[in-house]
Amino acid sequence: MNSVPLNDLSRLCIHTITTKPWSIEIAAKNYSSQGVSGITVWRDALSGRSIKQTGNMLRQHNLRVVSLCRGGFFPGKEPIKRQAAIDDNRRAIEEAFELGTRMIVLVCGADPAQSLEESRKQIHDGIAAILPDAENAGIKLAIEPLHPMYADTRSAINTLAQANDLAETLNSPWVGVAVDVYHLWWDPHLEDEIQRCGKNHNLLAFHVCDWKSPTVDLLYDRGLMGEGCIPIRKIRSWVEAAGFTGFIEAEIFSNEYWKQDQSDFLRNIITSYKKYV
Ligand code: ZN
């Protein structure tokens, strides 16, 4: 199935970290004035602010607060570290509630001092521990699989199949998955796994950017949509065939783009979104 190109911005959401040099107030004003419809808030953008007032400010700019990024980082060889992660995730749920969003993205974590299997078990247990809090607050938890290059410290969940397995094992309407093209584009089972989470009503979020060749930094060298090798439009057609109608979230961490004038960068994001997503 071929997707029709998007010619409006009604489904475009931008992550605050994408325009990291801007405060959340400046980002909100500029996203809104360019017609962007949604914002995903990284927790550091809330630092030193009233979260409730910040949520109201975003809504005054007609921005939907799509999600809070991020919870997770559950594994730890030491029990004290795992408990600290659970406590921090409970705080993230409170923050999401205050902010007025209905979703937290989970970057699940990994500890190189132990096996990936052990980390995965601890991720399961960590999510299970915070599930009652998420349910009480009405917040969905989106498990985001990360590219295997991050399997040492950032996530032991590296494929959509693993994220789907975990979501299905937890079997709660409050847990689903986030599909980020940067992490998953290489996976030969991606289309099937997208269908699978769609069928189970577990497909909660869709993140876009591009994979540059060469990539010069494992974390901070993501590309603008269209400048790399990810078949973004094809993957978008898969998520839509699976029933996803939510926001398409531009999440671009880039040392290079953070050095640019952020207003120019924002205009480039919008142009690439219209052209390549
Ligand atoms: Zn993402």
Can you give the pLDDT of all 277 residues of the chain as single tens digits? 445 555 699 999 999 999 999 999 999 999 999 999 999 999 999 999 999 999 999 999 999 999 999 999 999 999 999 999 999 999 999 999 999 999 999 999 999 999 999 999 999 999 999 999 999 999 999 999 999 999 999 999 999 999 999 999 999 999 999 999 999 999 999 999 999 999 999 999 999 999 999 999 999 999 999 999 999 999 999 999 999 999 999 999 999 999 999 999 999 999 999 999 9
Query: How far is the CA of 189 from the CAs of 15, 119, 159, 185, 235, in angstroms?
Result: 27, 23, 9, 10, 12
Contact status, residue 65 vs residue 101, Cβ threshold 8 Å: yes
Dmax (CA) of the chain: 50
Residue 6 located in a structural domain: no
Number of domains in the chain: 1
The Å distance, Cα 189 to ligand 1 centre, comes to 19
The Å distance, Cα 145 to ligand 1 centre, comes to 9
Both tokens of residue 62?
């007609």
Q: Check which CATH number belongs to the domain holding 57 and give it.
A: 3.20.20.150
pTM for this entry: 0.97
Both tokens of residue 29?
């004003």
The Å distance, Cα 239 to ligand 1 centre, comes to 15
In this prediction, residue 6 carries a pLDDT of 59
The Å distance, Cα 200 to ligand 1 centre, comes to 21
Nearest of 71, 173, 158 to residue 120 by alpha carbon: 158
Contact status, residue 86 vs residue 58, Cβ threshold 8 Å: no
Residue 199 located in a structural domain: yes
The Å distance, Cα 3 to ligand 1 centre, comes to 21
In this prediction, residue 18 carries a pLDDT of 98
The Å distance, Cα 142 to ligand 1 centre, comes to 10
Residue range(s) defining the domain that contains residue 18: 12-276
SS3 59: helix
The Å distance, Cα 134 to ligand 1 centre, comes to 20
Residue 2 located in a structural domain: no
Q: Where are the beta strands (DSSP E) in 1-109?
A: 12-15, 38-42, 64-72, 103-107
The Å distance, Cα 224 to ligand 1 centre, comes to 14
The Å distance, Cα 180 to ligand 1 centre, comes to 5
The Å distance, Cα 207 to ligand 1 centre, comes to 5
Residue 184 located in a structural domain: yes
Contact status, residue 90 vs residue 130, Cβ threshold 8 Å: yes
In this prediction, residue 168 carries a pLDDT of 98
The Å distance, Cα 105 to ligand 1 centre, comes to 8
Residue indicated by tokens 């475009």: 12
Both tokens of residue 28?
């909100």
The Å distance, Cα 119 to ligand 1 centre, comes to 20
SS3 159: coil
In this prediction, residue 5 carries a pLDDT of 55
Mean pLDDT of the chain: 97
The Å distance, Cα 33 to ligand 1 centre, comes to 24
The Å distance, Cα 34 to ligand 1 centre, comes to 22
Both tokens of residue 173?
């309407």
SS3 223: strand
Residue 49 located in a structural domain: yes
Residue 247 located in a structural domain: yes
Residue 34 located in a structural domain: yes
Residue 260 located in a structural domain: yes
